[in-house]
Structure 1
C-alpha cells in the first residue's frame, strides 16, 4: 500500500477542525451553553396601540366617540393621513389635566398651524365632556 502524504495531512487537518469545532473537551453541556450565551436576544414583539389599550375604559370610550364623529376622516391611531396620528399627538403632549383641557378646546374650536397648514375643523356641537374624553383617549396612546 502506497502512503500519500498529502491525503494524510488533509485527513489530520479535517480531524483537527472537527475537534476544535466541538470544543475539543467532549463536554457537550459546556459547548451548548457557550452557543446559547452567544445567541442574540429575541427581538421584542411589537404590538399595535389598539391591542395594547383595547381593554382600557378610556380607550373604549374614546374609540366609540371617534367612530361617532368625523375624526377617522383625518386621523388614524399610528399613521398620519390628513392630520397627525393620535400617537404623534400623544408623543407631543404630556398627559396632564391642563393638556386635556387644551386639546379638548382645540377639538371643539378647531384650528390650524400646530400640525401644518391644513385646518382642523371645529366641532362646536361636541360637548365639553366628550371633547375631554377624546383628548384623554388621544393622550393615552403613547408608544
Structure 2
C-alpha cells in the first residue's frame, strides 16, 4: 500500500509543481495573434523584444506596464491595446519573452 501511494504521489507532485509555461500562457491570452517568437506580425517578434531589452534590468517592469496600459511608438505606429492579464501570468509570459534568443 505504501509503495502504491508513493508511486501515485511521485506521479502527481511534479505536474502540480511544474512552472507555468510562458508560451502556453501567451497563447492562452491571444498574445500570439499579434506576436510570434521569430517573426514580426502586427507587433514585434519576441526575439526582437528580448534583444532590445537584453541589458535592461528594469525591462520586465517596463514591459508589464506597457502590456497592462497599452502603448504606441516604440515599435511603430500600430497601437497595442491594454491587456487584462494577471500579474502572475504576465510575469511568466515576460520571463519567457525576455529569455528568447
TM-score of the pair, normalised by structure 1: 0.54
Is 1:141 the equivalent of 2:100? yes
> Residues 127, 95 of structure 1: CA spacing in aligned structure 2 closer, same or farther, 3 A cutoff?
farther
Bigger radius of gyration, 1 or 2? Answer: 1
Structure 2: 5+ residue runs without aligned partners?
1-17
Match of 1:117 in 2: 77
Q: What is the root-mean-square deviation of aligned Cα atoms in Å? A: 1.9
The CA distance in 1 between the partners of 2:92 and 2:57, in whole Å, is 12
Is 1:129 the equivalent of 2:88? yes
Match of 2:64 in 1: 104
Q: Is the 8 A contact 1:90 1:139 kept in 2?
A: yes
Runs of 4 or more above 4 Å deviation: none
User: What's the offset of the Cα at 1:118?
Assistant: 0.2
Match of 1:94 in 2: 54
Is 1:79 the equivalent of 2:50? no
Structure 1: 5+ residue runs without aligned partners?
1-56
SS of the residue 2:50 aligns to? helix
The CA distance in 2 between the partners of 1:89 and 1:104, in whole Å, is 13
The CA distance in 2 between the partners of 1:94 and 1:61, in whole Å, is 20
Q: Is the 8 A contact 1:111 1:119 kept in 2?
A: yes
SS of the residue 2:80 aligns to? coil
- Figure out how many residues of one structure are paired with residues of the other and give that number: 84
The higher-RCO structure (CA 8 Å, 6+ apart) is 2
